[in-house]
Chain A
Amino acid sequence: QIGVLDVDICGPSLPKIFGVEGEQVHQSGSGWSPVYVDDNLSLMSVGFLLSKADEAVIWRGPKKNGMIKQFLRDVDWGEIDYLLIDTPPGTSDEHLSIAQYLKESDVDGAIVITTPQEVALLDVRKEITFCRKVDLPIIGVVENMSSFVCPKCKVSTQIFPASTGGGQKMAEDMNVPFLGSLPLDPRIGKCCDEGKSFLTEVPDSPATQAYKQIMSKIVEYCTKRNENRESDSGEMKTN
C-alpha cells in the first residue's frame, strides 16, 4: 500500500502523471481522502484542489507551509506501507516544512535525483548538504536521463554528458549510496503525459529494468531499517 504526497505546490504534475487529473478530493469525518490511482496506490496533490487546469498557485512560503501541514495532518491515508513525498527542486520552504513536521516520525530517508551534468550536480550536492543539516538519512542518489539509445541505429549517446563523472562519482565523493542510472527513453515522458504506467506499457525497455533494480534497492533499505527498528524496540522490552 503506497501513498504519494505531491508537495510541488506551484507545479503539481502528479495528478496528470498518474492519469487522475480532474479528480476530486472528498472530506469525511476522518479527514481528506486521497485519490486512488489503483487499489494499492493513492495520491494527494494541490492539483486536485484547483478549479482550472491553468490556475496558478501564487503563494509565498508561509501559505505553502500551511498547505503542507494540512496535507500531513488531515489526509486519511489509511494503512499504508510507504508514504512517498515528491518535492520540487530546492532547499526552501517545502523541504524545511517536510523535514520539521516529520521530525518525530523517524523518516526512512531521502532519495536524491540528479541528471548527469555538472550544472545539475551543483544543485544536488546542496540537497545532500540540506539532508545532513536536518538529520535526514539519505537512501541514495539516482541518476536520471543517463543515456539515450537511438531507436534507429541503436547507438547510445549521452545527451547530458557527465563531464565531471555524473551521479555515481558525486555519490562517491559525498559518501552516499548510488542507487542506479535511468536511461532516457522517450516513452517515459509519453507515458507521463498520458497518465499511463511506463512499467506496464513498456515492460521490455532497459529503463524498466533500471527502475525495477532501483526500486528493489529502496525496498531493501527500508525493510532493513524496519527490522532494525523492531529489534531495537524488542531489546528495550526485554530490558
Chain B
Amino acid sequence: AGKKVGLLDVDLCGPSIPRMFNVHQQDIHQCSEGWLPVFVDKEQKLALMSIGFLVENEQDAIIWRGPKKTAMIKQFLKDVVWRDLDYLIIDTPPGTTDEHISAIENLKAYNPDGAILVTTPQAVSVGDVKREITFCRKTHIPVIGLIENMSGFVCPNCTECTNVFSKGGGQALAKEYHVPFLGCIPLDPELSKSCDEGKDFVEHYEGSPTLQAIQKVVDRLVKIDRDLP
C-alpha cells in the first residue's frame, strides 16, 4: 500500500486497460520531457499508458504489422514520463512475438525484475504458458512466479465449487518447471463486472474470496520484491 505504480498496456490490438480503470475517455498530454501518463487517482499513485488513449473511436482497429507495433512499444518505454515509480508493470497480450520481444529488448538495460505468468488451469492453456516459460529462459528474464487464474467457481446459490476450467494445472506447471507458485484465483462475476464498469473491485468487494486470493498473491509478490538483491 502507498506505492507508486505505473501500468503500461502493450496489448496494442486489444487495449482494455483504460476501460478497466474507467479512464477511457481521457487524453494523453505532452510536456517538455515527453508524454504524461494518465493518473487513475487524485494522489497520482497509479499511472497508466495505453494505445487506447490515442484512439478516437473505440471501434477503431489498430491494424499494424510487427514493425509498427515494435516502434510504438519503444516509444512508450522511451517517451513516457513515468517519474519516480516503485513498480512499473507491463501488461502483454498472450504470445511470444513482437510485443514480447520488443518489451524485453527495450527493458534489458534496466535489469527488469522478471515476469509474472498467468495461466488458467486447463492443459490447453498450460501448454501455451509452458512456451512463455521457455521464452523467459531464452531471453534471460527471471520468472517471478506463476498465477492460476479462473481457478474454480463457487455457485452463488448453493456454494458448490465447480472447476469450470479444470483445476491445478497452473500449480503443477510451476512445480514441473521449478518456478514459484503465487496462488489460485477463483472466478467471481463481480470482478468481470467491475472491470467492465471501471469500478474498484478492491474497494467494493471486500468479502470476495477472489479479492482475498488476489491480496495473497500481491503479498507474496511484495515479499519476493523485498527479498530481491
Interface of B is mostly: mixed
Known: A58-B96, A91-B13. A127 touches B123 (CB 8 A): no
Which of B12, B19, B67, B165 is close to A118, meaning CB atoms less than 8 Å apart? B19
In the bound complex, what is the Cα–Cα distance between A159 and B187 (angstroms)? 7
Asked if A144 lies at the interface with its beta carbon under 8 angstroms from chain B, I say no
Known: A92-B13, A123-B14. A61 touches B67 (CB 8 A): yes
Asked if A237 lies at the interface with its beta carbon under 8 angstroms from chain B, I say no
B94 x A159 contact (CB < 8 A): no
B122 x A122 contact (CB < 8 A): no
Interface string of A30-62 (1 = CB under 8 A from B): 000000000000000000000001111111111
Please, which residue of chain B has its CB at the minimum distance from the CB of A127?
A: B61
Interface-lining segment among B189-197, B200-208, B216-224: B189-197
Asked if B43 lies at the interface with its beta carbon under 8 angstroms from chain A, I say no
Report A-chain residues with C-beta under 8 Å of the C-beta of B131.
Answer: 10-11, 54-57
Count, A-B residue pairs, CB within 8 A: 188
B67, B98, B135 — most chain A CB neighbours (10 Å): B98
Q: Can you list 16 A-B contacts with CB-CB less than 8 angstroms, sorted by A residue number?
A: A10-B95, A11-B131, A16-B127, A58-B97, A61-B98, A64-B66, A88-B95, A92-B69, A96-B63, A117-B192, A129-B61, A148-B162, A148-B164, A153-B157, A163-B192, A186-B165
What are the 9 tightest A-B residue pairs by CB atom distance, in nearest-first order?
A61-B66, A193-B123, A56-B134, A54-B130, A123-B14, A118-B196, A126-B61, A153-B158, A10-B95
Interface, chain A (partner B; CB < 8 A)? 9-11, 13, 16-17, 53-62, 64, 88-93, 95-96, 117-119, 122-123, 125-130, 133-134, 148, 150-153, 155, 157-161, 163-164, 174, 184, 186, 189-190, 192-193
Known: A59-B97, A157-B157, A159-B189. 20 other contacts (CB 8 A): A10-B94, A13-B124, A54-B131, A56-B132, A58-B97, A60-B97, A88-B94, A90-B13, A91-B63, A91-B64, A96-B65, A119-B19, A126-B13, A130-B61, A150-B162, A155-B155, A159-B164, A189-B164, A190-B166, A193-B166
